[in-house]
Amino acid sequence: MSRLSNLENKILSIDAAKRRIAIWKLKNEKIVFTNGCFDILHKGHVTYLAKAADLGDRLVVAINTDFSVKQQGKGDNRPINPEDARALVLAALGFVDLVVFFEEQTPLNVIQALLPEILVKGADYDPQETDKLSKKYIVGSDIVRENGGEVCAIDLVEGFSTTSILNKSQNK
């Protein structure tokens, strides 16, 4: 299999992801899940994802579709990179085992379908927050905990964000 085919084989539908994860779980591999837009991959993203991968055996990354990104109101020019390009770049990271898409505003349906053992977000979220209306609430944390899993927050790398990169490139 070519290297490109290996990368493309990491990008799956939810149903195909469920089947692959079922195999990993039969091998007692711990599944770590995170999500985001990952529009312009940068040091902050890579550091965060590497630390997330260290929490278990397999890292699953759910990314917002282009439609979902536009619904978030990040700006008319977002996403910069289309979903297939963002997925391929993420799949190229050696510690990312699987990439799936989600069309909704949150990855709740994906979390319900895949039931990871560990749910991870950046430290701008609070794993202890239970108020679903709070901006610090981690979507799906209740489901992961109900299934015996854990929820973690990872410190972000100061000074790195897609927005700051875009502002810098436009001399803002």
Over the stretch 127-151, which tens digit does the pLDDT of each residue have? Answer: 999 999 999 999 999 999 999 999 9
Predicted confidence at residue 77, as pLDDT, reads 83
Which of 10-19, 72-81, 107-116 is the least confident region? 72-81
The span from the CA of 105 to the CA of 65, in Å, is 10
Predicted confidence at residue 63, as pLDDT, reads 98
User: If you average pLDDT over residues 94-104, what whole number do you get?
Assistant: 97
Domains of the chain: 3-169 (3.40.50.620)
User: If you average pLDDT over residues 103-117, what whole number do you get?
Assistant: 97
162, exposed or middle or buried, with CB in 10 Å at 0-12, 13-18, 19+? buried
pLDDT tens figures, 24-69: 999 999 999 999 999 989 999 999 999 999 999 999 999 999 999 9
User: If you average pLDDT over residues 115-134, what whole number do you get?
Assistant: 96
Q: Is the pLDDT of residue 103 over 80?
A: yes
Predicted confidence at residue 162, as pLDDT, reads 63
